[in-house]
Structure 1
């Protein structure tokens, strides 16, 4: 369990008083196309907006120290395993510092969906990262359908069924 100081520093970083997490540009709006982004996966691949067209994409921003983030990862796994054949892509983008890369890689080995490093990815159009977790859903046409910066920050299988499945069924 993290110390009080660790939790306090994490909280301050999320509200912008200390900022190890990168500040991002203005946030997206649901119903609008997402700006171009690139994710750098833990396997060393770069995945771009254009490459993901035609698939439903879930981008989950998380960190090793975030207990809520870690709690929702099994739900993302279960949902992904059930729906990957329908054109679902899930990316867990770690917002950790480089010193945590070993832990990030160890955690992500437990999951079938892709992991990526936030500091190596280009997500400027997703707005300021002010809390974790944050989960975004993008439909097959590249339109934002869930803005992770508003509403409930966490997802579970029920939320994923309600907020992702309709976009998997839409052609």
Structure 2
């Protein structure tokens, strides 16, 4: 086992011990989430009231995460004018910043690094991808910590489109 892998496992264990394990239940108000995006912009979930927001926790080394991203991009391009926002929080370690930037260069929705974000109210990010959907009133409509099928266009249409059309 390489030193880098060992350090990553140690960091993961520390995160598992230090962070609460609760999940946010569907129907609850979304917790605070603030971040400085890769392009230096401020993101504040509570300032997104009136928008439908997808919060996606991912990592560059996570193949299922990267498989979902093209569908999220296509859906975002189709629906951003209807009030859809996406924020992708990279859980990568600092030594992987270059890879995060390389991956995100293919997508137009904003991303942030975990160290530049405060999402403690979401509890422990214990697996990836973890994707939450928050409606226009700031209520969680999809809990990302619950086992889920892969995010794809049909699933986004089922989960998110009704929230975009409901006012």
Using structure 1 for the length normalisation, give the TM-score.
Answer: 0.86
* RMSD of aligned residue pairs (Cα, Å): 2.6
In structure 1, how many angstroms separate the alpha carbons of the residues matched to 2:47 and 2:151?
A: 25
Alignment-derived partner of residue 87 in structure 2 = 91
Could you list the runs of 5+ residues in structure 1 that have no partner in the other structure?
none
Q: Point out where structure 2 has 5 or more consecutive residues left out of the alignment.
A: none
Q: Output the CA distance in 1 between the equivalents of 2:76 and 2:88.
A: 12
Query: What is the SS of the residue equivalent to 1:85?
Result: helix
- Aligned partner of 1:81 in structure 2 is 77
Aligned to 2:116: 120
Q: 1:32 aligns with which of 19, 28, 32?
A: 28
Moved over 6 A (4+): 8-11
Deviation of 1:109 after TM superposition, in Å, equals: 0.9
Task: Please give the alpha-carbon distance, in whole angstroms, between the structure 2 residues aligned to 1:26 and 1:45.
Answer: 29
Matched length: 166
Residue 109 of structure 1: aligned partner: 105
Q: Deviations over 1:24-52 (max 9, x none)?
A: 56321100101222122101122112321
For the pair 1:71 / 2:61, whether they are aligned, the reply is: no
